Amino acid sequence: SLCDAVRRGWSIGKRIRHSFVHVLDQLRIGGGFARCYEMTDLANNKMYAVKVIPQSRVSKPHQRGKIINEIELHKSLQHKHVVKFSHHFEDQDNIYIFLELCSRKSLAHIWKARHTLTDPEVRYYLKQIISALKYLHNKGILHRDLKLGNFFVNENMDLRLGDFGLAAKLETVEQRKKTICGTPNYLAPEVLNRQGHGTESDVWSLGCVMYTLLCGNPPFETLDLKETYKCIKEVRYSLPPSLTPSAQKLISAILQKNPSDRLTLDQILAHEYFTKGFTPEKLPPSSCVMVPELNPPSPAKKFFTKMAKSLFGKKKSKVIKSFSIDIVPVFSPSASDDIPTPAAVAESAMKVLNSCLSSMPTASRNPPCLSKTKPLIWVTKWVDYSNKYGFGYQLSNQNVGVLFNEGTHLSLCDQTVHYCLTNNKHFSFPADALPEKLLNQKHIVDLMANYMEQNLMEGGDVNSEDQPSPSSSPLLLQWIKTDHALVMLFDNRTIQVNFYTDHTKIILSKSSDSSYLLTYISKERVSYSYPLNVLSQWGCSPELRQRLHYVVQLLQHYTNA
């Protein structure tokens, strides 16, 4: 039972609520439906989504066979856009299937909040769905139940295809199952006509998904199921004039009655809807509930990318020599191959914190803290304006930066402007000699800086030997917001976690000698800094330990995503 599971070391979180409208939240299991719970392994604080199937539902051999088939099929899948299968076990009451937790739920939830999505967002999600489908089809597997509720979204806005309760191995035309299964609005004509499922049936469902996201409702939806089936068989639907011409063409090319006339997955990706339209590299979390402002790469980005190629191409020494004579006083580029990825920063922090916690003895209070530390640069103020522009922050050395939605970064450091492209190429300019094409982004940074200066309090004080130098500032690589905290990852391998409820903060920073310093800012805004090896040896208060466990949990979820 669930109580037995808790006694084994599992903590049950809130159960995902069911919605019987469009079957948004329930998960299929062997053709039926299972409840899904959020659970935490108390041994390591790792969180899972867990399908719980009552044994009463699998009392017959053919029912149990379907469950076993789904488990074995899902276990065999390993792809970045497929929900990860962890493990399963059962007791006398239930079967428990542990899966990757996608904290932003599904496209069904986003669709319910937004009703329609923009073309760049749809391209973003469809590319990931197609990547997962190509993987499945290449392994000879049909999903057979593609719908919004089966596309899950993780903390980082990455899509995961899940729910393989109706999935089946691909068979020859003669052997194909003639069963009608799937969600009514997304069924292909050949399925309704009992001609069997092929890869083309999944493509049809993909076209229905695209239509639903862009138009706000499925293409063949009516108030009567029989009428819906009739519309599907006759391929009778309308294309709203609000759709772009390329979107209309693509949907029409997918929703073809004859399966052989439909575009393949590769042909869909080669369609002008994708090749001539902007697809963002990432979506801001705010896009789950509101329209994001997603601008195509700016002319400035194209200019700087071209300039970087000329600087670091084959004629490197000759170009740099002539370039330095005329432009270096105003414009200083540098390569940044040594900048770690956000995932690498998160993974290294998770490892050192896990190591510390695993050897840390139980204690009732914190050890003596350092009276002074080396200059520590951390985020004292921040503002999330990702619904329009990006994430702005002020550092303890008074420098201000903005990580823009499209991935570029601009920061003000004393009288110098630093600009970073998404390929980690950096450019520096005197503030009074900024290229015209960067003036708009500089204006946004100024606005955020003024807002933070006039409206926000400092996050606390850190006792340092000296004030941090304005000329050296870490670069924000990524920020992540959860229900309880804000996580910021920097290129100097510093991570900072701000807890919302009590405004406490944890800063893990790496010294030049590769040792780690942990700084804790309490709700009274008082800072305490400890070498991590001291905490590992002496232990810490339950309050701090609890927060460290939560940070590890966040980082584990991020690195496993």
Write down the pLDDT at residue 175. Answer: 47
Kindly state the average pLDDT of the residues 368-372. 87
Label residue 30 by pLDDT band (50, 70, 90): very low
- And the tokens for 341? 């990825």
Q: Which domains does the chain have, with CATH numbers?
A: 2-100 (3.30.200.20), 107-283 (1.10.510.10), 301-560 (3.30.1120.30)
Kindly state the average pLDDT of the residues 201-215. 96
Write down the pLDDT at residue 487. Answer: 93
Distance CA 92, CA 94 (A): 6
Write down the pLDDT at residue 173. Answer: 55
DSSP bridge partners of 390: 385, 404
Does residue 160 have a pLDDT over 90?
Answer: yes
Write down the pLDDT at residue 233. Answer: 94
Label residue 476 by pLDDT band (50, 70, 90): very high
Write down the pLDDT at residue 471. Answer: 61
Distance CA 211, CA 216 (A): 8
Q: How far apart are the first and last CA of the chain?
A: 29
Looking at 336-481, which runs of residues are DSSP E strands?
379-385, 390-395, 400-404, 409-413, 416-420, 426-430, 476-481
Write down the pLDDT at residue 327. Answer: 26
Kindly state the average pLDDT of the residues 493-516. 90
Largest CA distance in the chain: 82
Mean pLDDT of the chain, nearest integer: 82
Distance CA 521, CA 52 (A): 40
Write down the pLDDT at residue 82. Answer: 97
Tell me the catalytic residues: 145
How do residues 344-358 score in pLDDT, each as one tens digit? Answer: 899 999 999 999 999
28 versus 362: the higher-pLDDT residue is 362
Sign of CA dihedral 308, 313, 317, 323: negative
Distance CA 425, CA 305 (A): 8
Does residue 181 have a pLDDT over 90?
Answer: no
Rg from Cα positions in the chain: 27
Write down the pLDDT at residue 172. Answer: 59
Q: Are 408 and 419 in contact (CB under 8 A)?
A: yes
Does residue 4 have a pLDDT over 70?
Answer: no
Write down the pLDDT at residue 17. Answer: 31
Burial of 6-39, coded b for 16+ CB within 10 Å and e otherwise, reads: eeeebeeeeebeeeeebbbbbbbbbeebbbbbbb
**Chain mean position to CA 36:** 21
Q: Are 301 and 142 in contact (CB under 8 A)?
A: no
How do residues 300-344 score in pLDDT, each as one tens digit? Answer: 344 444 444 443 444 433 332 222 222 233 344 474 456 788 888
Write down the pLDDT at residue 485. Answer: 87
Identity of the highest mean pLDDT range in 28-37, 443-452, 467-476: 443-452
Does residue 261 have a pLDDT over 90?
Answer: yes
Percent of the chain with pLDDT over 70: 82
Kindly state the average pLDDT of the residues 74-89. 94
Strand order from edge to edge, sheet including 409-413: 332-334, 426-430, 416-420, 409-413, 400-404, 390-395, 379-385
The closest alpha carbon to 207, from 156, 166, 247, 179, belongs to 247
Write down the pLDDT at residue 463. Answer: 64
Which residue type does 297 have?
P
Q: Are 22 and 149 in contact (CB under 8 A)?
A: yes
Does residue 551 have a pLDDT over 60?
Answer: yes
Distance CA 129, CA 419 (A): 33
The closest alpha carbon to 64, from 86, 32, 35, belongs to 32
How do residues 379-404 score in pLDDT, each as one tens digit? Answer: 999 998 887 788 999 999 899 999 99
How do residues 101-118 score in pLDDT, each as one tens digit? Answer: 998 999 999 998 888 999
Distance CA 481, CA 460 (A): 20
- And the tokens for 413? 């450091």
Instruction: Give the three-class secondary structure for 313.
Output: coil
DSSP bridge partners of 495: 489, 508
- And the tokens for 364? 């009732």
Identity of the highest mean pLDDT range in 59-68, 131-140, 406-415: 131-140
Output the pTM of the full model.
0.52
Q: Give start and end residues of each alpha helix (H) in 360-409.
A: none
| CA distances to 146, 319, 383 from 163, in Å | 9, 54, 37
Least confident range from 83-92, 166-175, 227-236, 282-291: namely 166-175
Q: Are strands 168-169 and 94-100 parallel, antiparallel or unpaired?
A: unpaired
Rounded to 10°, the helix 107-114/199-215 angle is 30
